Amino acid sequence: MSAEIKRHNEDKELPKEFIDMDTVTDNGRTVGTQKEEVQSVSAGQERVLRPVIRLPERNAICINPEIRDTSVFVKLRPAWEDFRSYLTAKGRKRFEVYICTMAERNYALEMWRLLDPKAT
């Protein structure tokens, strides 16, 4: 239980660090942002590049939209990558995947982009 609390406290600090410096410290190493393109919600909108930090060994993603106060820390479920690979494996029948949220459509699209960055 103490390891879980320690990890939670470390995770709590990541968004603050990201907002302040556009980097996070993970196990003693500094990880910087990568610019990822956000798909337009409506046609004719110009493309948006959003700073993102992916921490695969922590199953975590930090996103920093243009409004720094709305930075987000996303904790992925364990084995998400294995499950995603299963869903998209060649020869498999297609699956319909939905994101259920009480947030706005833009949030759901952003979560889907984070979960499936190659849109497979």
* Residue-by-residue pLDDT tens, the chain, 120 positions: 888 888 888 788 887 888 788 788 888 888 888 888 776 556 666 777 788 888 888 888 888 766 666 677 888 888 888 888 888 887 777 777 788 888 888 788 888 888 887 777
How many CB atoms neighbour CB 62 within 10 A? 25
pTM: 0.69
Structure tokens at 8: 């939670």
pLDDT of residue 78: 83
